[in-house]
Amino acid sequence: MIPGARIVLLGRQGAGKGTQCVRLSRHFVVPHISTGDMLRAAVREGTELGKMAKAVIDAGQLVGDDIMVGIVAERLDAEDARTRGYILDGFPRTVAQAIALDEITAKSPVDLAIDLDVPRDLVLSRLSARRVCRDCGANFQSTGTDPSPWTCENCGGDVVQRDDDTPAAINQRLDLYETQTQPLIDYYGSSGRMVAVDGVGSPDDVFARLTQAVEQRR
């Protein structure tokens, strides 16, 4: 495997980005950097950032660009990301963040942005059924007859519904995606770094399409 893949995964919330990022990060042996996970960890730890982020996240809004860029710049400066590359999940989410990311990584820019494409009506139903492990962040789908209490099969943590997975907050996030994040497709497209991958299908099929898209670029 060629080291040093620097990948951004875009796509609507509920497109299966998180799960696919975990698999891609194992496959290509690069760190998976999820800004949503980082913010939720800060909320759990009760840090200043966490206190500020909680209200914003629960309302389905975006945390400010400056704060997000600061967090990501620090993370990308760590040894593993500098030497191996990364898969960015949930960042950039605005064109301003993408421009800042290109500035931070001027010496070794993002190689590839992938748009994991799943239609809005499909992600709405998936997100309403989404459950996550409070400890390791693994995603599960509720079937309506869930174990109670539900413990994570990977780490034994509590499996819960995210506070921001209410229908109102989900719709708000999907609207924000259209207005703020969709323009990133043009941003990365204009520098020849954009590829779209069909995100509808079994997780294994989608994963195969994603690895193929990455390998075609290397």
Active site residues: 17, 93, 130, 162, 173
Q: Which is nearer to ligand ADP, 63 or 95 (CB)?
A: 63
Q: Which is nearer to ligand ADP, 52 or 145 (CB)?
A: 52
* Least distance from ligand ADP to the Cβ atom of residue 31, Å: 16
Q: Which residue is it, tokens 């099969």?
A: 153
Q: Which residue is it, tokens 């994963």?
A: 207
Q: Which is nearer to ligand ADP, 115 or 164 (CB)?
A: 164
Helices 95-104 and 65-76 meet at what angle, rounded to 10? 30
Q: Which is nearer to ligand ADP, 1 or 59 (CB)?
A: 59
* Least distance from ligand ADP to the Cβ atom of residue 63, Å: 4
* Least distance from ligand ADP to the Cβ atom of residue 9, Å: 10
Q: List Cβ<8 Å contacts ≥24 apart for 40-46.
A: 40/137, 44/134
* Least distance from ligand ADP to the Cβ atom of residue 195, Å: 20
What is the rounded CA–CA span in Å between residue 118 and residue 136?
25
Give 206: exposed, middle or buried? Use CB within 10 Å, 0-12, 13-18, 19+: buried
Residue 93 near residue 17, CB atoms below 8 Å? no
Residue nearest to ligand ADP (CB): 36
What is the rounded CA–CA span in Å between residue 211 and residue 215?
6
Which two three-digit tokens encode residue 144? 């309506």
Query: Which residues form the interface with ligand ADP (CB under 6 A)?
Result: 13, 35-36, 39, 56-57, 61-63, 68, 90-91, 93, 97, 164, 173
